[in-house]
Amino acid sequence: MQLILATALSIVSFASAAPCTSAEFNSINETYATTLTAACATSLKMSTSATISTAMGDPYGFCQPACATDLNNLSSGIAICDGTAPEVAIVAQFRQMCTDLANPTMNGGKCTTSDMILHESIKTMCASATCTAFLSSMEKQTPNCIMEDDTPKNSMSLKTMFQMSYGCTPAAVGAQCSLIDMVNFQTAAAAPVWANCSTFLKLPQGTTIDKVMPDEDATATSLPAGFCNSTCPQYLLSLMQSLPSCTSGGKNVSDPSVIYTLCPNVKPNKSGASTLSVFLWSYVVVLVTAVATLF
């Protein structure tokens, strides 16, 4: 409700706003391009040349006290005039999200976007030796038993469930992905596509994998003309090689066999990889898309 009110108030304020000047329009890009304060950049573990736009990609971190000055710069930097309403509304929503992060849903209600961001922030514990040691001691005390569900397939060990939620140690090859594995997956999925691949596909610079991954029902003939001879398959293979060799939902997230099936010309001569079903490819597409949507 607070988010709706904040957005509504920002819209009302534009009802009588004057037309934007060129300088006021430029304030949008200038604000996003503002370099972070040293305190904020250090807190986010970003370079000293990182900008507000970059920091907004880590909402949990950007909403922390170390970035308070930068958050205020974001709020005050964009001029209020006819034409900047969409950007001002986005900033208002972002600030409301920061408020929500400090006040998570605790009454059993439906989880908000901020609640999910807060939940995902648990990964920051893996950067602390003290927290990692604590989690390790907790794991040792976690019973090694099976939580039975309606089918054996849906049953899971309590230790595995602990690793999925709090595991700071990468899972063994073929085992269920741990928390840190999924963080690494998310990091890889958020990295920009190779420039020569995005250019070939006529996509803007900074595009992420969810815009490049072929559709789940893709065939060699349905791919864009020249796709298999472009750098895109090599980009996808490079990404797959950087993913953890673990499973999520019972599927290996780093097996490149389907890429070889779609583009046989990129398959190594001595590869013994078997052809996987389209289902695995669709699973990876769905997983990557979900990550892109959440972050």
pLDDT tens for each residue of 171-183: 988 899 998 888 8
CA–CA dist 192, 198 (Å, integer):
9
On whether residue 209 sits in a domain, the answer given is yes
On whether residue 163 sits in a domain, the answer given is no
Question: Both 259 and 182 in a single domain?
Answer: yes
Q: Please answer whether residues 164 and 244 qualify as being in contact, where contact means their C-beta atoms are separated by less than 8 angstroms.
A: no
Angle between helix 85-101 and helix 68-77 axes, rounded to 10 deg: 160
pLDDT tens-digit readout, 155-204: 788 888 888 888 888 898 889 999 888 888 877 777 788 889 989 999 88
Looking at 48, 70, 102, the residue that finishes a domain is: 102
- Number of folded domains in the chain? 2
pLDDT score at 289:
47
pLDDT score at 18:
78
On whether residue 221 sits in a domain, the answer given is yes
On whether residue 279 sits in a domain, the answer given is no
pLDDT of residue 47 exceeding 50, the answer is yes
On whether residue 16 sits in a domain, the answer given is no
Q: Please answer whether residues 44 and 59 qualify as being in contact, where contact means their C-beta atoms are separated by less than 8 angstroms.
A: no
On whether residue 282 sits in a domain, the answer given is no
Q: How confident is the model at residue 226 (pLDDT cuts 50, 70, 90)?
A: very high
On whether residue 288 sits in a domain, the answer given is no
pLDDT score at 17:
62
Whole-structure pTM value: 0.53
Least confident range from 2-6, 93-97, 104-108, 227-231: namely 2-6
Looking at 46, 78, 102, the residue that finishes a domain is: 102
pLDDT of residue 241 exceeding 70, the answer is yes
pLDDT averaged over the chain? 79
* Residue ranges making up the domain that contains 29: 22-102
For residue 239, count other CB atoms closer than 10 A to its CB.
21
10 Å CB burial of residue 233 (0-12, 13-18, 19+) is buried
Looking at 102, 119, 143, the residue that finishes a domain is: 102
On whether residue 142 sits in a domain, the answer given is no
